[in-house]
Amino acid sequence: MPRQSTVAAQADKSVESPKDAAPLPETQTSDAAQQTPALELQSKSRWTIEDSEELYRINGWGEPYFSINAAGHVTVSPQGDRGGSLDLYELVNALKQRNLGLPLLIRFSDILEDRIERLNACFAKAIARYNYGGVYRGVFPTKCNQQRHLIEDLVRFGKPHQFGLEAGSKPELMIALATLDTPGSLLICNGYKDREYIETAALAQRLGHTPIIVIEQIEEVDLAIEAARKIGIKPILGVRAKLSAKGIGRWGTSAGDRAKFGLTVPEIIRAVEQLRAADMLDCLQLLHYHIGSQISAITVIKEAIREASQIYVELARLGANMNYLDVGGGLSVDYDGSKTNFYASKNYSMQNYANDVVAEVKEACEERKLPMPTLVSESGRAIASHQSVLVFDVLGTSDVLPNVPEPPDDKDPLVIRNLYETYQSINVENYQEAYHDATQFKEEAVSIFGFGYLSLTDRARAERLFWACCAKILEIVRQQDYVPDDLEDLEKIMASIYYINLSVFQSAPDSWAIDQLFPIMPIHRLDEEPTRRGTLADLTCDSDGKIDQFIDLRDVKYVLELHALKPKSNSEPQPPESQLPKTLSSQVAVSHSQSAHEPYYLGMFLNGAYQEIMGNLHNLFGDTNAIHIKLTPKGYQIEHVVKGDTMKEVLGYVQYDSEDLVENIRRRAEQALQENRITLAEAQLLLQNYEQSLSRYTYLSS
Ligand SMILES: *Cc1c(COP(=O)(O)O)cnc(C)c1O
C-alpha cells in the first residue's frame, strides 16, 4: 500500500502500542477475561481512556464529533466544537427502553448541518483568500443517501448557502424536484437520460428551479435539442468531460478515456458544433467532471482541476456561454485518521481542497481574461458519512482458550511427548523454530491418526498442545518489534470470534463488497483494557458475513482489540472455562451464551454515505431501526423514528403473503393435531410464535 515501507511500519507499530512494548506485572481485574491468562494482552498497571483513544484512533477519525468521556463511553458532539455533547452509551440504553432494539442506526442531524456549514465555510474562505470573482454553489449527490428525512434536512440546512441537489437518475430527479425549494440553488441533472428526463428537467425551470442538464453521452445532445424545440424552453446544459487525469484506488476508473460516463474531447467539440448548428450554443453553460470517490491524494485532485479549467476556458473561447464549473465528488473521508494517501484516508483537509479548486480556476480564467465561473461541487461522502453511527450488540464469542497442558508420561505417544517438549522449550530465542516444530508435530499427529495409530482422545490432546504452543509463541511475538512473515497469521488464527447482531450485507455492504474500512470500536468500557483480540462474524449464514479488517495507523490490522464479555451479575455463575466441553478441534469453546452476559455494544462510525441504499436483504435481514437525534439546550430530542423492517415486510419483498403463510402453518398444525402428532398446547404455542414473529424485527432481541 502506498504508505510507509514495511520496516518502518513494523517499527512504528511497536511504538504505537505501549502495551506491547513493556510487559508490566499483572494486576487485578475482576472480569471474566482473567480466566484465560495465556491469551490476554499484557496488563498495564492501569488502563485509561487515553489508552483507548490511542488504540481506536478516535481523535484521528472522530474529531470534532466523537470522543470518550471520563466514564469510558463514546460521546457525540453533533455540533462539533460549537455545542454540547451526549453520551452514546446512555442514548442507546434510553432508546432500548423505548423498545428500539439493536442494531440501531442513529443519525445526528446536527452533524449533517455542521458538515454543510464546514464545506461552505471552506469555499467562502478560499474565495476570500484568493479574491475569486465568483461564488460557490454546492449540491448534494442524492445517490449518496436518499432517505427522505436526510434529504429534507439537507435542503433545510443548506438554505443559507443556496445548497442544491444532484440527481443521477429519474427517481432521484423526482426526489430533487419535489424537495428542493431553495431559490437560487442548483439542480444538477446527471446520469443516463431519456426524452422524458430531459423534458421534465427543462420544464422545472418554470417552477423556479435552476436545473442544469449535464450531457453524459453524445446521443443526449440531440435529445436535448429536440426537447427544447418541442416544449419551447431553452434548457441550461452542461457537459461531463472524461478527463485524462485518473483517479486512484477503488474508483480510479471513473476517469480516463475508457470511463463509463462523459464525453471525450472530440465528442465535446462535436457537441459544441451540434448545439451551434441548432442555435443553442448559449445553452451550454457548465463543465462537469467526476473522477471518482474517495480521492485520497491531493495531487490527483489538483491535476484534475487543472485539466478541467483548461477545457472550461476553451469552451468559452468556442462561444459557449460558460458560467459554471462543477468539480464533482471525490472529497475524501479520513476513515482511519492517518492523514495519508492510503485508500481509507486522505492527505489533505477540506480547506486544502477548496483552496486548490479556487486557485486553479482563478488562474486559468485570469490568463484568458474570462469572468470566473460559479464553482459547484458534488460532495456526498464528505457531507453524509459522519452523521450516522451504527450501534450493534455482541451475542457471544468463540474463543481460543488453551489451558496449561498436563505433562505426558512415558506411555503417551511420542508425538504427544514431542509437542509437550516443544511447549516447554518455547522462549524468546527459539519461538520461530518452536512454531515450525509444533506445526510439524501437529500435522504428524493428524497423519498418524489417519493410519489408525492414534486414538481420538490423543489426537485431541495433540491439538490442544499445539494451541497451547501457539498461545505461548503469540505472547512472545506480541512483544517483538519485528514479526517474521510466517508468524504474521498467528494473531488471526488465535483471534476470538465476536458474533454480532447485524448483517454486514444490509448495514455495511461496502465492507463486504470492496473491503472498505470503517472505524469500529466499543462504545463503553473504554476505561478498561480490552484484553481480547477478535474478528466480527455477522448473523447471516454466509462465510463472507464478517469483518476481519480494521483501521490502523499503517495499513490495516486483522484483529480488533475488544473486551471479554462480562457474565451477567444476577445470573448463574459461568462454569470455569476449563470445564467447558472441548470439541475435537479442541481449541474452540463458545464461552458465553446469548443471555448470560452483560450487553456489549460496538459502534461502526462514518457509515452515513452509500451503505444504507446499497445494503441488501441477504438471509432476509431487513433495514435496521433508524433514529434521528437532535441536540436541544436541555439534552436531545428524537426527531424521527424510522422502524426497521419487520419479517412480514421482508417476506413481502420476496412475494410471500403473511396471511397465506400463517394459514399454511395453521392447516398443517391442524392436521398434526388430528393425527395426534402435536398437542393442542404445542400447536397454540407454535402458531402464536409464528404470528408474532411476522410483525417483529428481523434481528435478534436481547
Ligand atoms: C457518486 C458521485 C458523486 C459523489 O461523490 P463523493 O465522492 O461521494 O463525494 C458526485 N458526482 C457524481 C457524478 C457521482 O457519480
User: Ligand 1: which atom is nearest the Cα of residue 383?
Assistant: 9
> How much is the average pLDDT of 509-528?
96
**What mean pLDDT is reported for the chain?**
89
- With CA atoms as reference, report the closest residue to 329 among 382, 286, 375: 382
Ligand 1 midpoint to CA 240 (Å) = 13
| Residue with the larger pLDDT of the pair 39 and 84 | 84
Residue whose C-alpha cell reads 470500536 in the numeric block: 521
Neighbours of 363 (CB within 10 A): 12
303 near 309, Cβ under 8 Å?
no
Distance 1 CA to ligand 1 centre (A): 24
| Ligand 1 centre distance from Cα of residue 290 (Å) | 7
Is the sign of the CA dihedral 21, 25, 27, 33 positive or negative?
Answer: positive
In ligand 1, the atom with minimum distance to the C-alpha of 251 is 7
Q: Which atom of ligand 1 is nearest to the CA of 143?
A: 1
Q: What spacing in Å lies between the alpha carbon of 166 and ligand 1's midpoint?
A: 9
Q: Whose Cα sits closest to atom 4 in ligand 1? A: 329
Nearest CA to ligand 1 atom 3: 329
Residue 190 alpha carbon, nearest atom of ligand 1: 13
In whole angstroms, give the CA distance from residue 655 to residue 652: 5
Structure confidence at residue 509 (pLDDT) = 95
Going by their DSSP bridges, the two strands 625-632 and 532-537 should be labelled as: unpaired
Nearest atom (ligand 1) to Cα of 610: 8
The mean pLDDT of 239-252, rounded to a whole number, is: 76
- Per-residue pLDDT at 41: 52
What would the mean pLDDT of 383-393 be, rounded to a whole number? 98
Q: What is the structure's pLDDT at 518? A: 98
pLDDT band at 42 (very low <50, low <70, confident <90, very high): low
Residue 18 above 60 pLDDT?
no
33 Cα to the center of ligand 1, angstroms = 45
- What is d(CA 202, CA 199) in angstroms, rounded to the nearest whole number? 5
Instruction: Tell me the C-alpha to C-alpha distance, in Å, between residue 375 and each of 287, 318, 322, 355.
Output: 10, 20, 12, 12
| pLDDT value of position 13 | 32
Residue 3's pLDDT is 41
Q: Is the pLDDT of residue 30 over 60?
A: no
pLDDT at 35 over 50: no
Mutate to test the pocket of ligand 1, among 288, 376, 378, 606 (most ligand atoms within 8 A of CB): 378
Q: CA 110 to CA 84: how far, in whole Å?
A: 11
Atom from ligand 1 closest to the CA of residue 381: 8
Q: Is 567 helix (H, G, I), strand (E, B) or coil?
A: strand
**Contact partners, residue 289, CB within 8 Å, separation at least 6:** 240, 241, 242, 243, 255, 262, 304, 308, 326, 327, 328
Per-residue pLDDT at 146 exceeds 70: yes
First-to-final CA distance of the chain: 41
Specify the ligand 1 atom closest to the Cα of 292: 7
CA of 645 to the centre of ligand 1 (A): 28
pTM: 0.88
Specify the DSSP element, H or E, that contains 661: helix 658-674
Count of residues for the chain? Answer: 702
- Residue 438 contacts residue 469 (beta carbons within 8 Å): yes
Handedness of CA 368, 373, 375, 378 (dihedral sign): negative
Q: Which amino acid is at 355?
A: N
**CA 219 remoteness from chain centre:** 37
CA angle 61, 64, 68 (to 5 degrees): 80
| 622 contacts 506 by C-beta, under 8 angstroms | yes
Sheet containing 86-87, strands listed edge to edge, beginning at the edge strand earlier in sequence: 66-68, 74-76, 86-87
Q: Per residue in 544-601, pLDDT tens?
A: 999 999 999 889 999 999 999 999 876 555 444 444 433 333 333 344 445 589 999 9
Q: How far is the CA of 385 from the centre of ligand 1 (A)?
A: 13
Q: For ligand 1, pick from 144, 172, 215, 242 the residue to mutate: most ligand atoms within 8 Å of CB.
A: 144
Contact yes or no for 75/86 (Cβ under 8 A)? yes
290, 335, 350, 610: residue to mutate for ligand 1 pocket, most atoms within 8 A of CB: 290
Q: Where are the beta strands (DSSP E) in 450-549?
A: 496-500, 520-522, 532-537, 546-547
Please name which of 102, 65, 61 lies closest in space to residue 550, comparing C-alpha atoms. Answer: 61
Determine the atom of ligand 1 nearest the C-alpha atom of 379: 9
Let me know: does 577 contact 401? Beta carbons within 8 Å.
yes
Residue 661 has pLDDT above 60, yes or no: yes
Instruction: Compute the distance from residue 638 Cα to the ligand 1 centre, in Å.
Output: 30
Instruction: Compute, in angstroms, the gap from residue 289 CA to the centroid of ligand 1.
Output: 10
CA distances from 1 to 249, 333, 342 (A): 10, 18, 7
Residues within a 6 A CB radius of ligand 1: 141, 143-144, 168, 190, 290, 293-294, 328-331, 378-382, 609
447-454 contact pairs (CB < 8 A, 24+): 448/413, 448/415, 453/413, 454/413, 454/415
State the pLDDT confidence band at 193, using cuts at 50, 70 and 90: very high
Separation of CA 328 and ligand 1 centre (Å): 6
> Which ligand 1 atom is the nearest neighbour of the CA of 384?
8
CA of 309 to the centre of ligand 1 (A): 19
* Section 254-267 average pLDDT: 80
CB 624 within 8 A of CB 101: no
Specify the residue with its C-alpha closest to ligand 1, atom 2: 329
| pLDDT of amino acid 526 | 98
CA of 61 to the centre of ligand 1 (A): 21
Q: How confident is the model at residue 128 (pLDDT cuts 50, 70, 90)?
A: very high
pLDDT value of residue 587: 39
**Calpha distance 197→237 (Å, rounded):** 13
- pLDDT band with cut points at 50, 70 and 90 for residue 32: very low
CA atoms within 13 A on the CB side of 383: 31
CA distance 520 to 390: 9
Mean pLDDT of 611-632: 95
Nearest CA to ligand 1 atom 10: 329
Written as one letter, the residue type at 161 is H
Ligand 1: residue of 187, 293, 294 to mutate (most ligand atoms within 8 A of CB) is 293
**Distance between Cα 146 and ligand 1 center (Å):** 13
Give residue 330 CA to ligand 1 midpoint distance, Å: 6
